Amino acid sequence: MPEVLSQQGIIPGIKVDKGAVALANFPGEKNTQGLDGLRERLKEYRELGARFTKWRAVIAIGESIPTQTCVEANARTLAMFAALSQEAGLVPIVEPEVLMDGDHSIDRCEEVTTVILNSVFDALFRHRVVLEQVLLKTGMVLSGKDCSQQADLAQVAEATIRCLRRSVPAAVPAIVFLSGGQSDEAATQRLNAICAVKDVPWKLSFSFGRALQAPALKIWQGSGDNVAAAQAALHHRASCNGLAVEGKYSEQMESANG
């Protein structure tokens, strides 16, 4: 499989964490496990053809959370993962995800995301991780999904870029955004608004899961008769996001596809 992917210009990688578990004595908070045996696993993955790795940390916003303990624990594990990946000759994608769940405002999300990212990059520095060989995968700065005041596109772009400028060193080559529970069109619209801001030191792109695949899966439904339509939907969504990375997406593209 790695050889087939490489022939298509696709670089294979692997998610190496073993999932988030409850952080003992801290209700509502989690830390990600998977460091045990990671050095040996990374060596094997490199030999099998992987060239990058990914580790996801999960941060919830709520009353009195996240705590400093949770922030520091996740930053430390992300940094250890990144250091071990670089030791094995792999490029780490560091993913601290601030969840959309809750009724928090966009200001609160920006505050928490700024704290998280500063803590993560402090930990990366202390673990001697080479920032020029790291990718950051992070969420957009958004209102909580249950917040009564949902921020508009301009507010999302402004808050996200401001947060990144205050938290992410210019040495990091690229930042890719996760969709984090957004609808496919909303994620594309917000990506476009963010990437339209040109004076930033990083390459901005996307690493969507659900927001990229959901339309195609909804059409496909496991039926061979729906394969062509599902492929067309996936191609459309990918094309829209590709244009959004350049700040060239418009909502008219959705109606044109429909």
The answer to whether the beta carbons of residues 11 and 52 sit under 8 Å apart is: yes
Check: CB of residue 91 under 8 Å from CB of residue 44: no
Helix, coil or strand: residue 256: helix
**Strand bridging mode 174-177 / 135-138:** parallel
**Catalytic member of 54, 110, 137, 158:** 137
Helix axes 68-87, 106-126, angle to 10 degrees: 50
* Ordered DSSP codes for 128-183: T--GGG-EEEE------TT-SS---HHHHHHHHHHHHHHHS-TT--EEEE--TT--
Whether residue 173 is preceded by a cis peptide bond, meaning omega within 30 degrees of 0, is no
> By the 8 A CB rule, do 156 and 179 touch?
no
Spatial contact of 115 and 59, defined as CB atoms under 8 Å apart: no
Catalytic residue among 29, 95, 97, 110: 95
How far is 193 from 154, CA to CA, in rounded Å? 7
Is 145 a catalytic site residue?
no
Quick check: is 248 catalytic? Answer: no
Residues that are catalytic: 95, 137
